Amino acid sequence: MTDLAPQTTPNDAVGLPARAAALDLLTAALGGRAGMDEGLSHPALAALDGRDRAFARALVMATLRYLGPIDSALQAKVKKAPPDKVVQILRLGVAQAFVLKTPAHAAVTTSVDLVAQDKGLQMFKGLVNAVLRGLVREPPELDDPELMAPSWLYMRWRAAFGAEAAQAVAAMIAQEPATDLSLKDPSQGPVLAGDLEAEMLPGGSLRTSRRGDIATWPGFAEGGWWVQDAAAAIPARLLGVQPGQSALDMCAAPGGKTLQLAAAGAKVVALDRSAVRLKRVAENLARVALTAEVVAADAATWPDRRSFDAVLLDAPCSATGTFRRHPDVLWAAKPSDVAGLAAVQSKLLDAAARRTKSGGRLVYCVCSLEPEEGEGQVAAFLARTPGMSLDPVAADEGGAPAASVRPEGTLRILPHHLAAGLDGFYVARFRKA
Ligand SMILES: C[S@@+](CC[C@H](N)C(=O)[O-])C[C@H]1O[C@@H](n2cnc3c(N)ncnc32)[C@H](O)[C@@H]1O
């Protein structure tokens, strides 16, 4: 089994408040799309000391990463589904004992204590005790990749990428990702790589397995880099913007790709529908001392009349490719989401085409593994937009893994395409006649 390398050594010295906070966080994470983010600012978590907070977070991430196999192990032991809160406590108990390797007695006792804290659940103490003790006697197998994702998603991946690739993608759900950084000045790469004990990836991103508060890492205070997954850094590079060119980032927040375009010297308009999320763009720009025109508007109906040398559409999507850092997306996504999002994406692609100057480039990307949001979008867009043609991406251009380049020159980046992983993305580049 993968070592999840939690930020602190979880043991039986970590008390009940950490488990109670993990229960709140897990419930929030599985309760909606923004669940994990909401949960991370949960007061129960903020009230913990550093070690307990790290344990609670590691426990929830372990539970979410192994949710499919954990549920399968529990279903074999529990005949009639108990109330939701008891299910969450059982899930956390299994993750403690078999993923984080917390001593079994601590995992069982604290799980029973969590149930005991709720007056209405007293009758489930025996069940939790018996189920967890039973699993301790006969440890479950949690490594089956076919159980790692919800079955409807796994079937889709198998249909889209083939059985072998679907297994390899699902196996990545268990892996805790390293942290990837994009550099403001690529020439600083070798120095920063040394300072941060980081590996330099093909496109110029740095990958570090450092943990802890990034604000204390070398180069942060100087605004030398920002956190951005290696796959997320590829689309903006493919625009190849030159200093002084105009660029539109149509769905910009929190701003990783805006920063890349600005760092390359483009005059950037960073557009996003969410004024709240745009504050992050402004803060990020200020921290790394770059500038962009930040505009809150719906990109489909933005009344501005300008067109741009380079347009980037990083469209809202099901985000199933981001499961390495957000395993909750897999369990929050619903089959019906994909069709709804695909309709929004095609409207935004039409708007992006209108914003692109003649001879200019448009890059469309989504952090989704679902073909309707990627390959399907491109085929339909080309069919209805005569002025646009595909501008094929060459192997290893912009740091794209060779395995991700499709015959027609779009990118289907799968999480196992780089050793130690990267986010799943679909990327297509177009040229306007
Ligand atoms: C995938 S995120 C963008 C991430 C960003 N490009 C980055 O690299 O940091 C999608 C963004 O699209 C924005 N969005 C959704 N619908 C939009 C619309 N109709 N017009 C503009 N922005 C929209 C959301 O607010 C969200 O910030």
Indicate if ligand 1 lies below 6 Å from the C-beta of 277: yes
Query: To test ligand 1's pocket by mutation, which of 37, 259, 272, 373 has the most ligand atoms within 8 angstroms of CB?
Result: 272
Euclidean distance between CA atoms 25 and 327, whole angstroms: 13
For residues 31-57, average pLDDT = 74
pLDDT at 41: 66
Distance 376 CA to ligand 1 centre (A): 20
139 pLDDT more than 60:
yes
Residue 44: band (very low, low, confident or very high) from pLDDT cuts 50, 70, 90: confident
157 pLDDT more than 70:
yes
**Range(s) for CATH 3.40.50.150 in the chain?**
230-432
Euclidean distance between CA atoms 67 and 71, whole angstroms: 6
373 pLDDT more than 80:
yes
Indicate if ligand 1 lies below 6 Å from the C-beta of 125: no
**Catalytic (active site) residue 317:** no
For residue 298, the ligand 1 atom closest to its alpha carbon is: 20
Distance 241 CA to ligand 1 centre (A): 21
Distance 52 CA to ligand 1 centre (A): 34
16-143 topology per CATH: N-utilizing Substance Protein B Homolog; Chain A (1.10.940)
Q: Which helix (H) or strand (E) holds 429?
A: strand 425-432
Indicate if ligand 1 lies below 6 Å from the C-beta of 273: yes
Q: Which helix (H) or strand (E) holds 365?
A: strand 356-366
Condensed to tens digits (0 to 9), the pLDDT of residues 259-281 reads 999 999 999 999 999 999 999 99
Indicate if ligand 1 lies below 6 Å from the C-beta of 129: no
Condensed to tens digits (0 to 9), the pLDDT of residues 215-247 reads 999 999 999 999 999 999 999 999 999 999 999
Residue 39: band (very low, low, confident or very high) from pLDDT cuts 50, 70, 90: low
Distances (CA, A) of 100 to 59, 65, 226: 7, 12, 30
2 pLDDT more than 50:
no
Indicate if ligand 1 lies below 6 Å from the C-beta of 6: no
Cα pseudo-dihedral 28, 30, 31, 37, rounded to 10: 50
Count of CB atoms situated within 10 Å of the CB of 81: 10
Indicate if ligand 1 lies below 6 Å from the C-beta of 240: no
Residue 13: band (very low, low, confident or very high) from pLDDT cuts 50, 70, 90: low
pLDDT at 4: 35
Pairing of the two strands 179-183 and 206-208: antiparallel
For residues 346-357, average pLDDT = 98
pLDDT at 341: 96
pLDDT at 7: 38
Condensed to tens digits (0 to 9), the pLDDT of residues 47-69 reads 888 889 999 999 999 999 999 99
Q: Which two tokens stand for residue 328?
A: 């909750």
Residue 212: band (very low, low, confident or very high) from pLDDT cuts 50, 70, 90: confident
Distance 122 CA to ligand 1 centre (A): 45
Which residue puts its alpha carbon closest to atom 10 of ligand 1?
Answer: 316
Euclidean distance between CA atoms 151 and 164, whole angstroms: 16
| CATH for the 230-432 domain, from 3.40.50.150, 3.40.50.10890, 3.30.479.10, 2.60.40.1930 | 3.40.50.150
Indicate if ligand 1 lies below 6 Å from the C-beta of 272: yes
Which residue puts its alpha carbon closest to atom 17 of ligand 1?
Answer: 273
pLDDT at 220: 97
CA 27 to chain centre: 19
Distance 377 CA to ligand 1 centre (A): 17
Indicate if ligand 1 lies below 6 Å from the C-beta of 235: no
For residue 255, the ligand 1 atom closest to its alpha carbon is: 9
Distance 210 CA to ligand 1 centre (A): 29
Provide the mean pLDDT of the chain: 93
120 pLDDT more than 70:
yes
Nearest residue to 128 via CA among 109, 104, 151, 101: 109
